[in-house]
Amino acid sequence: MSIPMARDTRDALGPVANACESRSLLQQKLVFNDGWLDSARAFALALTLADPTEWVKRLKRDQQEAQRKLERKQAERPREFTHEDAEKLEAAGAFLEILEARNPLDRSRPRAPLRFSSPDLSWLSSTPSRRRVEIPLFTAERLALGLANSPLENAGLDTHRFFGVPVIAGSVLKGVARDGAKFLVGLDRARIREVFGNEPEEDRKFLGGPVSFLAAYPADLNCALELDVLTPHFQKYYGRAGNSKAEDIEQPVPSVFPVVREDVEFQFHLTCLTSRVSDEEATSLLEDASKSLRRALLEFGLGGKTRAGYGRFRETRNPAPLPAPAHDLFPAAA
């Protein structure tokens, strides 16, 4: 039974496809059959967890029950067994094979915990100190990154495509910092253009700013992620499929999504390596850029659901111990 991946991806991986443990690869390249969307979504979400024990027990039980039902139908009512049923049966077998390979409850085959690496940033140490800035900050609330950047709508997490760790793109940080410069630090328009460059619509000849915002990663690459849940009560109302008055008559539908936990340290790096400016000018530009980024992260936050309090940072670690993350968020199969 082969892993349910896109064929070109599976062929490229070859015989090791079933042993693939890349968060980003599995989340982006799994093939989703419509009838098994919930199972595939649950599997993709659980790939973000360091210890998906509760999820494994529940999903494995549900998959085994579904497989038994399809096998009984195939044996007892073969004329009613459709091509779609065959695809579902094959998908169930594939998911069970993956679950067995990653089953943390199987003590006879101890598996080392997943360990993640990150891009090599050692070159920063050789960069002149006047041309680089490092900002360590801690998540003050849960951080939702790239909820919609996934084949599963509103169930994604931005992870590095090779290393599988949560990543905040440099372009995101630059946009947040620019807002911070305008609304929080109070830099004038001319100075904002000096630091960040002009906007594409401002000038036909777009000029990028001299300050570079590097992608940010957790200081602890094995930081614990967790699952959050949002439960819409008016799905038909929002989807314009009925319940036009938003009456409380619909069945709540839990929607689970992955987040970075509170109190995770991120390292933010800014550089100014262009020869267009002197060391003194670079120091001044970095000072304004880092001040803008810091203020924006502390007060605005980034990522999804910031109006609900997600995505904000703080300068020190929370002295109070955090509770262990809860993983049993998936509803039982009907």
Give the per-residue pLDDT at 182. 93
Give the per-residue pLDDT at 232. 76
Give the per-residue pLDDT at 31. 63
Question: Tokens in use for 54?
Answer: 């509760």
The SS3 call for residue 297 is helix
Distance between the two ends of the chain, CA-based, in angstroms?
26
Question: Tokens in use for 262?
Answer: 């509170």
Give the per-residue pLDDT at 235. 75
* 315-334 burial code (b ≥16 CB/10 A, e <16): eeeeeeeeeebebebbeeee
Beta bridge partners of 332: none
Each domain of the chain, given as residue ranges in start order, spans 7-101, 122-314
Q: Where are the alpha helices (DSSP H) in the chain?
A: 7-13, 23-29, 37-46, 53-76, 83-101, 170-180, 189-196, 235-238, 279-299
Give the per-residue pLDDT at 83. 87
Q: How many residues can be counted in the chain?
A: 334
**Which residues are CB-neighbours of 146 under 8 A, at least 6 positions away?**
156, 157, 158, 303, 304
Question: Tokens in use for 312?
Answer: 């904000």
User: What single DSSP character describes residue 112?
Assistant: P
Give the per-residue pLDDT at 333. 41
Residues of the chain with pLDDT under 70: 1-4, 6, 17-21, 26-41, 44, 47-48, 50-53, 98, 101-120, 149-156, 200-206, 224, 321-334
Cα–chain-centroid distance for residue 132?
27
pTM to 2 decimals? 0.75
Give the per-residue pLDDT at 140. 93
Task: Kindly report, residue by residue over 217-237, the tens digit of the pLDDT.
Answer: 988 877 767 888 878 777 778
